[in-house]
Amino acid sequence: MSEIWALGAESVITRTERWGRPLIVKTRVKKPYLHPEIDEALRRQRTARECRMLSFARRLGVPTPAVYAVDRSTYSITMDLIDGKQLKEFANDMPDSRLETMCFEFGRLLGLLHRGKVVHGDPTTSNVIVDNRGKLWIVDFGLAEWNATIEMMGVDLHLVRRALETTHWDRQTLMLKATIEGYSSIMGNETEEVLSRMDEIRERGRYH
Ligand X SMILES: Nc1ncnc2c1ncn2[C@@H]1O[C@H](COP(=O)(O)OP(=O)(O)O)[C@@H](O)[C@H]1O
Nearer to Mg ion, 27 or 127 (CB): 127
Distance CA 95, CA 3 (A): 33
CA angle (100 as vertex; 98, 55 as ends), nearest 5 = 95
When asked if residue 130 is in the footprint of ligand X (CB under 6 A), the reply is no
Choosing from 93, 96, 122, 131, the catalytic residue is 122
Q: Are 89 and 104 in contact (CB under 8 A)?
A: no
Q: Which of 25, 109, 139, 153 binds ligand X (CB under 6 A)?
A: 139
d(CA 113, CA 110): 5
Contact of residue 142 among Mg ion, ligand X, none (CB under 5-8 Å per partner type): ligand X
Size of the site for Mg ion (CB under 5 A): 3
Q: Considering beta carbons, is residue 133 or 206 the nearer one to ligand X? A: 133
Query: How many CA atoms are closer than 13 Å to the CA of 172, on its beta-carbon side?
Result: 12
List the Cα angle 199/202/95 in 5-degree steps: 75
Instruction: Say whether residue 13 binds ligand X (CB under 6 A).
Output: yes
Known catalytic membership, residue 71: no
Position 82 contacts ligand X (CB under 6 A): yes
Q: Which residues bind ligand X (CB under 6 A)?
A: 6, 8-11, 13, 24, 26, 65, 79-82, 86, 126-127, 129, 139-140, 142
